[in-house]
Structures are given as structure tokens and as C-alpha cells.
Amino acid sequence: MSAAPAALNLAKSPPLDLPMRHFAAAAVAFWVFAAAFALGTDRLLGFGFQAKWSLGLVHILTLGWITMTIFGAICQLSAVLWETPLAWPDAARWAWWAFILGLSGFVGELWLGGNRYWIAAVLLVGSVAVYLACFARTMILAPRLDWTARHLAVSIACLAAVIALGLMLAWDRERGVLFHDPQGALIAHIHLALVGWVSLTIVGVSYRLVSMFALAHVDSKTPGRLALALALAGLAGLALDGLFFGRRLLPLWACLLASAYASYAWQMRHIFSARNRRIDPALAYTLLALAGGAVWAALGVGLAFGLLRDDTSVLAAYIYAALVGWATPFILGQVHKITPFLVWLHLFASRPWTAKSPPPKMTELASEKLAWAEFSAMIPAIALGLAGLLRESQPLLRAGSLFLLATATLYAAGTGLTLSFLVREGAWTQTSAPR
């Protein structure tokens, strides 16, 4: 890569510390989740099930790991997707601190048995509101919104709905005046998060990043457009049905959402068929995520049609398939590419160099062997975790949790290796983008 295009990217990029602090905090949250999951598998099955423990785990995974990573990626990709610098980067930096404090306090209160978790929840919601304001302002300033940016616009709106509904559910928990069907409202909340926020973000970003990493060019977006229409119809129907109509048409919404996923998978098939690059860890993770997403969709259809028992362990497997089987492999694959690229771009792309003193290659800023070892641990983590939950088997679930902990540990080591170049070059504390 030449220095000129890189400099053009840097001109609109946020300060380097902004995305990197998100990726570093997310790696810590992923490890904390995996360690707590491994230590507390006995609290997730049968008579030993503990709701507050499980709720804390889910929020570490969805907010600390997945949402923190997405926020960091959007902060960096705003210049590419929206063709304008991120609005109010200093506000996003302060929101990062509030997010961490709010999430830590919220989960800590849950796990310690406290009843004042709402105080930390207010701080957490406030931080998310700041992020949403930054992203909304950036979109308003954007000269145009491409296909990926439109997905992000919808997913960000869904995140706002998730936060609002979550607050109402927490307030109504002891009062019972807002929702005549709390279980239906919870279903709406969960799917606005899993489908509307997490999945639509992943789907939209995948069209840009996977095509770029695979060196693939696909002109037809018909399956992708169909996927978005079906997903929005299924999500809107499911949320409204859960909130207001007594969950009468769950099989219909499940079929629409499963069809949306099938259309998306078909679009991704076109991208992989057109690739001009070997399968590396990033692309292998994407394929694993597609397989995990198919399992998630199948479990959803099975639950909606009554083919699977509607109990705690099967519902936990459904959530596990969404967050660990689908979202986590995709995020791992993309961040394995994004982080070394950003470090290389900021440290070496704009520096003068000659053939006698070339900059390091991007591949030298990360370990592919470490990434493949991490990928090898992730496969049994997903398979054994799902089997353990579906069969209510403590040994299988414990084995899956240990593989997941190994994955998180290897990922943290790989992330630390890449970020060490910033420390070595004295760039970690850089708070203004080079011009």
C-alpha cells in the first residue's frame, strides 16, 4: 500500500486511541466472560440455574464484548462508510469510560446480589446515548449512505429501541403496569438486540469487509436486499407481536427471519465464490460464523413451531448460538484484520521509506499461527457448549467453556501482540489523528 491513499484515509480517521481502546476493552470483556462462564457452568443448568448470574454473563458478552467492539469499529469506519469524520470524538472517548464503569457496576450488583443495579444501568444507558448521538450526527453530515451504511443506520435505531425497552422492562419488573405480557416484551427486547442491533450490523459490515479481505467483487446485491427486507419484516412483526398481540404468530416471524438469513447466506456464497485469496483465519472465522448462524436460525424455527422444548436450557442454547456461534466468530475474524491494518496505517504508512528500509508488512504485526490455534479452539467451544446446553450435560458444557476460555486467552494474546507495536512506537497515547 502506498503512503498517499493511506494519508487520505488518515485525514478523516479518528485519533488512533479511540478505536484501539474499544478493541482492548472488548478483548478483556471477552476473557472475563469466558473465565466466568467456565467457573460458573453449574449455575446455568437444572436446579442450580441462577438468573442473575446468567443475566450478568449475557450483558458482559453483548455489551462488553460485542457492542464495545462494534462501537470501536464504527468509530474507525465512519470515515469510510459515511465519508466524513466521526462527530464529537472527545465525547465518544468520555462515553467509553462511562460505558465501562456502568457495565462493571451493573454486572457487579447483579452478581453480588445488590438491588441498586439501576444506578449503574443509568450510567450505562447514558454512555450509549452519547455514542448514538455521535453516530447520528455523523450520518447527518454524511454526503451519502451506501449499502453498508444503511444497515448501520437501521441497526443503530434498533439499539436505541433496545435501550428504551430495557429501561422500561427494568422499571416495570416490580410494578407490572407497562406490559401485560412481560415474557413477550422480553422476547421483543432480546430480538431487537440480537437481530436488529448485532446481526444487522454484522450483515451490513460483512458486505464491505469480507469482500475487501477476500478480494472479491460481486455486482448483484439482490439476495442481500431481500435479506434486509425479510429481516426488517420479521423483526418488526416479532417485536410488535410480543409487545401487544400475545405472541400469536411466532412461527410466521421465525420463518421470515430464517428466510432472511438464508438470503444473506446466499449473498455471502457469491462473495466467497468470487474470492481471489486463500482461506486465512479471518475468512475461516466468517465461514464458522455462517455455520453458527444457520444453527441459530434452526433453533429459532424449532422453538417457534414447538419442535423443541421451551425450557431454560434450550433457550440458553438459542442465545449461545446467536452470541457465541454467530456473532463472536464473525467479530474475531474481522478484528484480526482491522487491528493490524490500523496499527500499520498509523505507524508506517505515512512515513518516508525506501527499498532499503521498507516498513514491516501488516502480516508481521500479528501471528497467523496464533490465530489458527484460536480458531481451532473456537470450533469445539461452540459445538460442545451447544451440546451441553441442549442435553443439559455439565461435563459437555464445562468442556466447551474451557475451549472458549482458551479462545479468549489466545485472542487477548494476539491483540496484545499487535497493540505492543503502539507502545513500542510511543503511539498508544496519541489523541489526535496525524495530518
Asked if residue 102 has pLDDT above 90, the reply is yes
Measured torsion, CA atoms of residues 64, 155, 268, 290, in degrees rounded to the nearest 10 = 40
Under the banding of pLDDT at 50, 70 and 90, the label for residue 61 is very high
Asked if residue 235 has pLDDT above 80, the reply is yes
CA distances from 43 to 55, 124, 325, 382, 401 (A): 11, 26, 21, 19, 13
Query: Which of 256, 372, 389 minimizes the C-alpha distance to 317?
Result: 389
Which pLDDT score, from 0 to 100, does residue 426 have?
A: 61
Which pLDDT score, from 0 to 100, does residue 424 have?
A: 72
Give the long-range contacts of residues 361-365, CB within 8 A, separation 24 or more: 365/340, 365/417, 365/418, 365/421
Region 305-309: what's the mean pLDDT? 94
Least confident of 70-84, 165-179, 360-374: 165-179
pLDDT in tens, 341-377: 888 887 776 666 655 567 777 777 888 999 999 999 9
Query: Which of 285, 287, 152 minimizes the C-alpha distance to 208?
Result: 152
Residue 434 lies in a domain: no
The CATH number of the domain holding residue 150 is 1.20.210.10
Residue 178 lies in a domain: yes
Region 69-89: what's the mean pLDDT? 88
pLDDT in tens, 12-43: 778 888 999 999 999 999 999 999 999 999 99
How far is Cα 400 from Cα 382, in angstroms, rounded to an integer? Answer: 7
Residue 334 lies in a domain: yes
Asked if residue 4 has pLDDT above 60, the reply is no
Region 258-273: what's the mean pLDDT? 94
How far is Cα 131 from Cα 99, in angstroms, rounded to an integer? Answer: 10
- The grid coordinates of residue 247 equal 405472541
Judge contact between 9 and 79, C-beta under 8 A.
yes
Region 237-242: what's the mean pLDDT? 95
Asked if residue 137 has pLDDT above 80, the reply is yes
Residue 417 lies in a domain: yes
How far is Cα 96 from Cα 21, in angstroms, rounded to an integer? Answer: 8
Residue 433 lies in a domain: no
Asked if residue 6 has pLDDT above 50, the reply is no
Which pLDDT score, from 0 to 100, does residue 231 have?
A: 97
How far is Cα 46 from Cα 346, in angstroms, rounded to an integer? Answer: 51
- The grid coordinates of residue 364 equal 508481521
- The kind and range of the H/E element at 243 are helix 222-244
Residue 430 lies in a domain: no
Number of domain units in the chain: 1
How far is Cα 331 from Cα 37, in angstroms, rounded to an integer? Answer: 19
**Would the CA dihedral through 315, 321, 323, 324 be positive or negative?**
positive
**Would the CA dihedral through 18, 324, 258, 272 be positive or negative?**
positive
Asked if residue 7 has pLDDT above 70, the reply is no
Residue 112 lies in a domain: yes
Conformational region of residue 306, where left means phi above 0, alpha means psi within -120 to 50, and beta covers everything else:
left
Residue 432 lies in a domain: no
Q: What is the pTM of this model?
A: 0.93
Region 367-393: what's the mean pLDDT? 96
Asked if residue 249 has pLDDT above 80, the reply is yes
Residue span of the structural domain in which 286 resides = 3-425
Name, of 110-119, 269-278, 349-358, the range with top average pLDDT: 269-278
Which pLDDT score, from 0 to 100, does residue 10 have?
A: 60
Q: Is 293 exposed, middle or buried (0-12, 13-18, 19+ CB in 10 A)?
A: buried
Region 208-213: what's the mean pLDDT? 85
